[in-house]
Structure 1
Amino acid sequence: MTGSLLQRAQHVSETALRNGALQPLSTIIETVCEGALRFQLRTLSSLKYKENTQRIKQAGNHTTNPFKPYDPHLFVCDIGPSHICLLNKFNIIENHLLLVTREFEPQTNLLNPSDFKAALLGLKEIDGLVFYNGGREAGASQPHKHLQLIPVKPGDLPLAMQLSGFSDRPEANPALPFHQAGIQLPVNITDDPDAGSQWLYNHYLTLLDHLHLSHKMKQTTIAYNLLLCREWLMLVPRSTESFASVSFNALAFCGSLLVKNQHQSDTLKSAGITNALLSVTGAMTNKSGKYA
């Protein structure tokens, strides 16, 4: 790879836009405040309804694996020994990257140190957010294991103030209005991706246990979202994929939500985004009263 990861992504994006390999979704952004909480609500542009609808349908097509083989026009670079970095074909945020395993693994598999190494190599060069949708109920749209990385500018994470409240031990953050647990990362964790990835893997397993997300045969028994930046790691258990027909992925839990039309936007605002987040992370319990 020549140049920084972000420079490389920008260069590939320019070329992919010209040849049609990159097909962004157009949205209208609105800020919604609920008490001390701010949310960024993105509504698909009605002016480009036909394009957006077609692209969303294509993005959710599970009959083929878009990562094997991948579109060479979307290839950014190799990232770590086990992953490649691709542009997200149907991006909403510029320079949205996918960290995809070279060989097929199910998206429901547990993350491993190699996954966290790829994430840290990305975060070392891009001050951004890595997220993972662990299963269909967590908003996963493709069955091939992949993390996602987006650059973050000031204001891009509406719940930034609340998210900065994690401590140096795994626990729930009381400032966040939904079920979750997280931990503050050691300073400069990206300096040594090998050591850092093992630290993240160990604490990821601890957070799974803290949330009673039992796991066996490399998979958890229920879906969850993972969010990771240079400062903190957070896991969010999921009980359902949507609220009032609005699908939520990991980005919803940093305050950024996507709706398909104005009707969904009005429904979500009427019900309350805070209520929706709590609803989709509601506890799924077994007879012992803990997560199954």
Structure 2
Amino acid sequence: MRKFLLLLYLFPCIPALAQDTARYKGMTVNLDEHVVKAKRIGFDVNGFIKRVEEDTTFYRAFKNLRLINFTSDNDIRVTDKKGGKTIASLKSRTKQIMSGNCRKMEVLEEKTTGNFYNRKGDYNYYTAELYANLFFTKGTVCDDGGGTDKGSLARHKSQLKQLIFNPGKPISGVPVVGNKVAIFDRNLMRFYDFSITSENFTGTDCYVFSAVMRKNLSGIDRAEIVYDELITYFNKETMEIVGRKYSLSYKTLVFDFNVRMNVQMTKLDDLLLPALITYDGTWNVPFKKRETAVFTAKFFDFAK
């Protein structure tokens, strides 16, 4: 179970009342008045939802980080159980430099507090360890390197990609909760309210697909799902993802976790890229201290 919890580290207002509904493979979807108008002049609701389910632009955006120069501000804070007091932290600015198909990272500045590192210089916390694995580069790395890693960390990375880049689909190899993330599964749809709305997101006119856990679910039903909400913002003109919000939680007598993550995208010419990632989460498993942490990753100064 700790393996799944490692995965999580990675990952104008909506009108109050829906004006119409549509269906997609047994899913009832509420539409706001703007989407209803768009539907009347050709907006394909079923095609849009299928695009949500099968989208790959989000995945490509993170892969694109391995192709360009950029600078990032990294802020990781491990807090006490209540989330108020910081017990260890890292703030740094790093720069990725490309040379052909190889990349390396320079640490421009760094400050840590508490026991962020152990005596060997390794990370004391899983949040930091996985963050570094995803966004930091040690030495010179050529190509993607994605198909060469072996072992449990490689499996964690692969499962994390499924969770972040293919939300709503089951995660193979993860016990207990692997199938509980599949919001498009017919057996799980009944636990969610689905909607498509029209909103402005960071200056971009968007269609927004939302899957929000229904209120007042019984304890038995609540135990069948992991996502509290999954909200995705699509640029109306290009249908590329410009933002995504996640909220996941699960609780048993043995373990529990509660994670929230937001992602904002940007573009460099024709490349879609992540610009901002925020994470706020806590998890607890047997024989380990509860770990509560927040982080913010900002990517900028992109250059080919």
**TM-score above 0.5, yes or no:** no
Structure 2 length-normalised TM = 0.23
Structure 1 length-normalised TM = 0.24
> Rg larger in 1 or in 2?
2
